[in-house]
Amino acid sequence: MGIVDLAVRCGLSPDEPRLLEALTHSSYAAEHGVDSNERLEFLGDAVVDLAVAEYVVEAWPDVDEGVASVVRSRTVNEASLADAARELGLGDLLRTGRGVQKERGAERDSLLADAFEALAGALFSVRGYGPARDFVVQCLDERIEEAGRRGDIIDVKTRLRRLAEARGFAPPEYTLSASGPAHDVTYVARVVAGPVSGEGQGPSKKRAEAAAAAAAWEEAQRAGVA
């Protein structure tokens, strides 16, 4: 991918100064007296983090903070961003100094990940958050989904909701009841999602609903629809 193709992919003009800046490593900047991509990288780091976090909470509304953080960290890391940079061909476009060129430094994960973040920062600075977010998600969405699937990290309520969507069932509906004294309440939840249902209990509403969802998921598996 040449710089024109990259510009089209990003929605930037090929002669946009920030695009060239995003592709300029500090080693090249020091040798030629131009701006490096470090400031844009700093900005892009925040843009990428926010874009991935937003994707996670929108894709999995029931996900808790701990799980969301794990999914994000599995996606926003040096190796993952470097792979995304390689798919964009940034290694061939990155401007580096003579020493880095001699060591084939443009192939290093660290330089490529920084360049990806700098590109996101450039897009944000020129066109705003929306286009920058869309670009980041387009580049990383498969990695985010894979991060969510690995280790079955996505909670059972989300899995049940997504099953209902995929099968055309009605969305899961939960009903709750409580019993026991105020200091020791037991919650009982029941969920219905199309033809499957489940019941569960727990010391909190959230745990009771998760238990009910797990029961419904098991029923769906027995019925061969999950």
pTM beyond cutoff 0.95: no
123 lies in the same domain as 192: no
Among candidate residues 101, 121, 152, the one where a domain is terminated: 152
**Lookup result for tokens 């027995």:** 222
**Domain shared by 45 and 116, yes or no:** yes
Query: Domain boundary residue among 98, 124, 152?
Result: 152
* Domain CATH for 76: 1.10.1520.10
Range of the domain at 26: 3-152
Residue of 45, 62, 155, 209 with catalytic role: 45
- Helix ranges, 76-153 (H): 78-88, 90-93, 98-102, 109-127, 129-149
User: How far is residue 186's CA from residue 204's CA, in Å, rounded to a whole number?
Assistant: 7
Q: Are residues 26 and 119 in the same domain?
A: yes
Question: Catalytic site residue 142?
Answer: no
Q: Is-catalytic flag, 117?
A: yes
Alpha carbon dihedral 71, 74, 76, 82, in 10-degree steps, equals: -150
Comparing CA positions, the residue from 72, 61, 81, 78 lying closest to residue 158 is: 61
- The answer on 185 and 114 residing in a single domain is no
Does residue 161 sit in the same domain as residue 146? Answer: no
Same domain assignment for residues 22 and 119: yes
Choose the catalytic residue: 21, 41, 114, 117.
Answer: 117
Whichever domain contains 186, its CATH number is 3.30.160.20
| Domain identity same for 95 and 172 | no
Count of positions (residues) in the chain? 226
Residues 129 and 174 placed together within one structural domain of the fold: no
In this structure, the answer to whether residues 63 and 76 fall within a common structural domain is yes
Are both 165 and 125 inside the same structural domain? no
Cα gap 75→88, rounded to integer Å: 17
Q: Are residues 18 and 109 in the same domain?
A: yes
- Please report, to the nearest 10 degrees, the dihedral formed by the alpha carbons of residues 192, 196, 201, 203 taken in order: -60
Strand-pairing partners, residue 24, are 95
User: Pick from 135, 152, 169: which residue ends a domain?
Assistant: 152
Q: Tens-digit pLDDT profile for the chain (226 aa)?
A: 789 999 999 999 999 999 999 999 999 999 999 999 999 999 999 999 999 999 988 887 777 777 788 889 889 999 999 999 999 999 999 999 998 888 776 788 999 999 999 999 999 999 999 999 999 999 999 999 888 776 555 678 888 998 999 999 999 999 999 988 877 888 999 999 999 999 988 888 887 888 888 889 888 988 888 7
**Pair 123, 105 in one domain:** yes
Domain count, the chain: 2
